[in-house]
Amino acid sequence: MRIVLLGPPGAGKGTYASYFKKKYCIPHISTGDIFRAEIAKNTELGRRIKEYIEKGLLVPDEIVIEVVKQRLSQPDCEKGFILDGFPRTIAQAKALDKITKIDAAIHLYVPMEVAVDRLSNRYICPKCGRIYNLKFMPPKNDLVCDDDGTPLIRRKDDEPEVIRKRYEIYYQTFQPIIDFYKEKDILIEFDNTVGSEVGIPMLEKILIEKNILKIEPCNPSVSIQ
Ligand code: AP5
């Protein structure tokens, strides 16, 4: 199962990807997460991209493509992967096409104000990556992760003004990517305005029916978070 998750900020890419990762044991590769980790470690790459991320701007293609190429060459990607947040430009989509074959490109979408509402209430566990939402999927205890007790954090770019800018920028480069995957007949459009407890099983069923999701779950009892 080699999948790309397309969609604007707040569409739910990370939420869906972490469910599939836990249930089917395939890597969830988020370019945003890779970049934030580099910034936190203050690496040379982290210093080069910090400003782009904090302002909500796209990181230049050549940097992103190289990072993804290296990540996909790791052995854990052999049985499949979920790419989250890549490609974001047609140059990235074409580069990916040269690196590997993709089975499905899923466009998760929500209106801008739904995204602003969700992201303004998003909290993340910095240790395991689990995503919470104070309104829709709150942690059981005050701002600590249900799984490992780590204090939850907010992302610097999750401020309403930056969210709106990220959303607009996302759709500026989007149409050629959609056309690219439409032409290959692997595009799946999915409205994620519905709650995750409805949306996740619905998308899972679509992927099984289309014979894209062919592997057995490694953790069949994973719950929808
Ligand atoms: P990135 O980290 O990829 O962020 P993004 O695309 O802006 O997406 P988000 O992570 O904000 O949203 P999501 O769709 O994953 O939503 P989530 O599942 O958390 O990129 C960050 C930055 O890195 C970019 O701005 C850019 O600078 C750079 N970058 C990254 N990739 C790049 C590339 N390829 N090229 C160039 N630059 C790049 O859900 C959001 C919230 O909603 C959560 O709180 C969740 O709990 C809740 N939620 C989810 N689904 C539902 C639901 N169905 N009902 C209710 N609540 C829900």
Q: In terms of Cα–Cα distance, which of 111, 113, 137 is closest to 123?
A: 137
Residue 187 falls inside a structural domain: yes
Residue 9 Cα to ligand 1 midpoint, Å, equals 4
> Given ligand 1 and candidates 54, 128, 136, 165, which is best to mutate, with the most ligand atoms within 8 Å of its CB?
136
Q: Quick: pLDDT tens for 159-216.
A: 999 999 999 999 999 999 999 999 999 999 999 998 888 999 999 999 999 999 998 9
Q: In terms of Cα–Cα distance, which of 164, 194, 8, 166 is closest to 85?
A: 8
Q: Which two tokens stand for residue 81?
A: 């992967």
CA distance 10 to 7: 8
With bands split at pLDDT 50, 70 and 90, how would you rate the model's confidence at 225? low
Q: Quick: pLDDT tens for 48-57.
A: 999 999 999 9
Q: How many domains does the chain have?
A: 1
Atom of ligand 1 nearest to the CA of 200: 53
Q: What is the CATH number of the domain that holds 190?
A: 3.40.50.300
Domain range spanning residue 75? 2-110+174-209
With bands split at pLDDT 50, 70 and 90, how would you rate the model's confidence at 79? confident
Structure confidence at residue 108 (pLDDT): 96
Q: What is the pTM of this model?
A: 0.92
Q: Which helix (H) or strand (E) holds 190?
A: strand 187-191
Residue 182 falls inside a structural domain: yes
Atom of ligand 1 nearest to the CA of 35: 23
